[in-house]
């Protein structure tokens, strides 16, 4: 693995085509594949970006392995449920620190926040990742738990797609906290992450997705048929907001 230490912002194009397999994005299309919990693989015509690979245990026990081949791997922390790098194939660039990174034409920005409600004293720091891929601006909140500061709002702007934890616990937003952050950032598409699914071991204390969806009542919801979506920028809502839900990818 090659570790990098500067940041970026990426552009992605999207079209809503739901499949159960990874779809190779072409041109201005982006494939977003859910791997469970906060782990996703973003693929366009030239880059594969893996977010938050995990060790299969606790809330992630029943998911398939998330250590997939990628060109760039970004982790929100080095905790085992969102920053497990041991089994990654190949030699990807690994980004784990906040900062601004330039990797060819790709720009990525990592924004530092606390990973718990005690200012980071329990679980340390969380990195929110922002980038543009295929013409779409994405923000992955990782395990965000702290309220957004004014400086965070300025850096994050209004993303096209926001991936945000909604299941609560000690180190991520509760459903109500997630709704507050969404109201601030006003994304076009919300992808909820980090909630209780059938993949979890009995010890997992996260709340189910339905608690969040109840609080977002009135917002249109799209439910993917499989673990991957191929999207283009034209498929994003021209007005308002939509929630995108994936089925739990079970091993």
Q: Compute the distance between CA of residue 194 and CA of residue 60 in angstroms, rounded to an integer.
A: 10
- Predicted TM-score (pTM) of this structure: 0.87
Q: Compute the distance between CA of residue 158 and CA of residue 42 in angstroms, rounded to an integer.
A: 20
pLDDT for residue 81: 85
Q: What is the per-residue pLDDT across 156-173, written as a single tens digit (0 to 9) for each?
A: 999 999 999 999 988 899
Which CATH number describes the domain made up of 2-245? 3.60.15.10
Supply 164's token pair. 């945000």
- Which is nearest to 52 in space by CA: 87, 24, 23, 84? 84
Task: Please spell the DSSP secondary structure of 56-89, one letter per residue.
Answer: SSGGGTTSPP-----SEEE-S-SSTTT---TT--
**Burial class, 104, CB count within 10 angstroms (exposed 0-12 / middle 13-18 / buried 19+):** exposed
As averages over each run of 10 residues, the pLDDT of the chain (251 residues) reads 40 33 55 97 95 96 96 92 91 96 93 82 88 96 92 95 95 95 97 97 96 97 94 94 95 86
pLDDT for residue 71: 96
pLDDT for residue 25: 36
Q: What residue spans define the domains of the chain? A: 2-245
pLDDT for residue 27: 52
CB-CB contact of 141 with 194 (8 Å): no
CA of residue 15 relative to chain centroid, distance:
18
Q: Which residues contact 182 (CB under 8 A, 6 or more apart)?
A: 162, 164, 190, 216, 241
pLDDT for residue 46: 87
């Amino acid at each position: 693995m090659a570790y990098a230490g500067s940041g970026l912002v990426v552009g992605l194009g999207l079209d809503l085509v739901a499949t159960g397999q990874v779809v190779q994005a072409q041109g201005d299309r982006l494939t977003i594949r859910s791997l469970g919990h906060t782990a996703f693989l973003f693929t366009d015509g030239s880059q594969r970006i893996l977010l938050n690979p995990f060790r299969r245990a606790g809330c992630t026990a029943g998911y398939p392995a998330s250590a997939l081949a990628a060109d760039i791997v970004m982790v929100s922390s080095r905790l085992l449920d969102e920053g497990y790098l041991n089994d990654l194939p190949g030699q990807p660039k690994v980004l784990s620190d906040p900062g601004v990174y330039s990797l060819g034409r790709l720009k990525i920005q990592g924004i530092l926040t606390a990973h718990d409600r005690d200012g980071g004293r329990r679980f340390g720091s969380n990195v929110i990742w922002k980038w543009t891929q295929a013409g779409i601006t994405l923000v992955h909140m990782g395990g965000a738990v702290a309220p957004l500061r004014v400086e965070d709002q300025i850096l994050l702007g209004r993303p096209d797609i926001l991936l945000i934890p909604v299941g609560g616990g000690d180190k991520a937003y509760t459903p109500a906290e997630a709704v507050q952050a969404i109201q601030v950032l006003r994304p076009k598409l919300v992808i909820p992450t980090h909630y209780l699914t059938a993949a979890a071991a009995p010890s997992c204390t996260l709340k189910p997705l339905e608690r969040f969806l109840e609080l977002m009542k009135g917002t249109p919801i799209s439910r993917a048929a499989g673990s991957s979506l191929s999207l283009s920028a034209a498929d994003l809502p021209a007005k308002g907001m939509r929630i995108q839900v994936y089925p739990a990818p079970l091993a």
